[in-house]
Amino acid sequence: MTRILITGIEGFVGGHLARHLVASGQTVFGLHWADAPAGLPGELHKGDVCDFDTTRALLETTRPDGIIHLAGLSSVALSESHQMTTYEVNALGTLKLLEAVRQLQLKCRVILISSADVYGRSNVGRPLNEDLPSLPLSPYALSKHMTAEAGRFYHRAFGLDVVVLRPFSHTGPGQTATFVFPKVANAIAQTERGTREPVIEMGDLQVRRDYTDVRDVVRAYGLALERCAAGETYNVTSGKPVSIKEGVDYLCSLARVPVQVKSSAAKFRPHDIPLLTGDPSKFAAATGWQPEIPFTKTLSDLLDYYRNV
């Protein structure tokens, strides 16, 4: 594939994906709703995935062979204060994209990004594979379940070439400081600069999550364009859970000044699941993908990113 459209190109994953695809010789088009950061590669178009006319016109002019649909509200916390917007952007936005592809009869692979959060209460505490039922526990998770169902429906009913990916937690340089490790990295960098107190208040540090470097994740998305089977759903994950505490401790060990992390019960999330780990074998078998960047490097790059912001 040579012409790839990335929706939500201005986001954390979008920037990494655009640079990866351009470096591997693809022509990249991007749809962005918030202002795009300086230096983002690709032919950029401003618009909202909730606006069907915008999406259809963009597909008609760019005629991509592949679409990677990243545009969406990506925060569980935000989804709780903006429930309707979450459904409008994540669910309806996806439906509008698929419907535009269908109407224009584009020969085009569509990669939909669902989320490990859709598993929710499913098979708690054990590795999750793609055949388990979805039991979402937040508006965000429900909206990402709807994203995936929309894709599977358009494949089943209209034969669209849709692949659904379920990434587990991922982080790396550029992620906003509302997420856990960027928050700690940012706090450490600020403490080093002397602009904040050395005490960092966190939620539950004992929960364990698979973590993958964002640069490995975007490489997986690129492979999915070529190697996954239409209509199928795949976990994208390292399969190696770490506790939040391990990651935070490692970040603190890199700090140039003493910092102190406190776990505060007031910051615990109501539905937090103690362990989220995925079975990566289906995606590995289809694409040969394996994560390459060790988590310690992800964290040190993340800290360097916040030192240089």
Partner 1 sequence: MKCLITGITGFAGSHLAEYLLSRGDCEVHGTMRWRSRTENITQLGDRITTHVADIRDATAMYELVRDLKPDRIYHLAAQSFVPMSWVAPAETMTTNVIGQINIFEAIRAVGCPTRVQLACSSEEYGMVLPEEAPIKETNPLRPLSTYAVSKVAQDLMGYQYHQSYGMHIVRTRGFNHTGPRRGDVFVTSNFAKQIVEVEKGRQAPVIHVGNLNAVRDFTDVRDTVVGYYLALEKGKPGDVYNVATGKGYKIREMLDILLSFSTVKIETRPDPKRMRPSDVELLLGDATKLRTETGWEPKYKFEQTMKDLLDYWRAKV
CA angle 274, 278, 283 (to 5 degrees): 165
Q: Which of 2, 25, 34, 107 binds partner 1 (CB under 8 A)?
A: 34
Q: Please provide residue 31's backbone torsions phi and psi, each rounded to the nearest 5 degrees.
A: -110, 125
User: At what angle are helices 12-23 and 214-227 packed, to 10 degrees?
Assistant: 60
131 binds partner 1 (CB under 8 A): no
- In angstroms and rounded to an integer, the radius of gyration of the C-alpha atoms of the chain is 19
The residues, ordered by sequence, that sit 6+ positions from 308 with a Cβ below 8 Å of its Cβ are none
Q: Which of 84, 229, 265, 266 binds partner 1 (CB under 8 A)?
A: 84
Nearer to partner 1, 82 or 269 (CB): 82
Nearer to partner 1, 83 or 243 (CB): 83
DSSP-derived 3-state class of residue 221:
helix
DSSP-derived 3-state class of residue 272:
coil
Q: Which of 43, 46, 230, 274 binds partner 1 (CB under 8 A)?
A: 46
Burial 74-88 (b: 16+ CB within 10 A, else e): bbbeebeebbeebbb
In angstroms, the CA 56 to CA 2 distance is 20
CB of 78 to partner 1, least distance (A): 6
Q: Which of 19, 56, 63, 82 binds partner 1 (CB under 8 A)?
A: 82
Residues 167 to 226: which contact partner 1 by CB under 8 A? 176
Residues 47 to 76: which contact partner 1 by CB under 8 A? 47-48, 50-54, 57, 73, 75
Q: Which amino acid is at 301?
A: D
CB of 97 to partner 1, least distance (A): 15
DSSP-derived 3-state class of residue 111:
strand
Nearer to partner 1, 35 or 131 (CB): 35
CB of 271 to partner 1, least distance (A): 19
Please give the DSSP secondary-structure letter assigned to residue 39: T
Q: Which of 83, 122, 243, 281 binds partner 1 (CB under 8 A)?
A: 83
Measure the N-to-C terminal CA separation of the chain; round to a whole number of Å: 35
Size of the site for partner 1 (CB under 8 A): 23
CB of 28 to partner 1, least distance (A): 20
The residues, ordered by sequence, that sit 6+ positions from 149 with a Cβ below 8 Å of its Cβ are none
128 - beta bridge partners? 278
Q: Give the interface with partner 1 as residue ranges (CB under 8 A).
A: 10-11, 34-35, 46-48, 50-54, 57, 73, 75, 78, 81-85, 88, 176
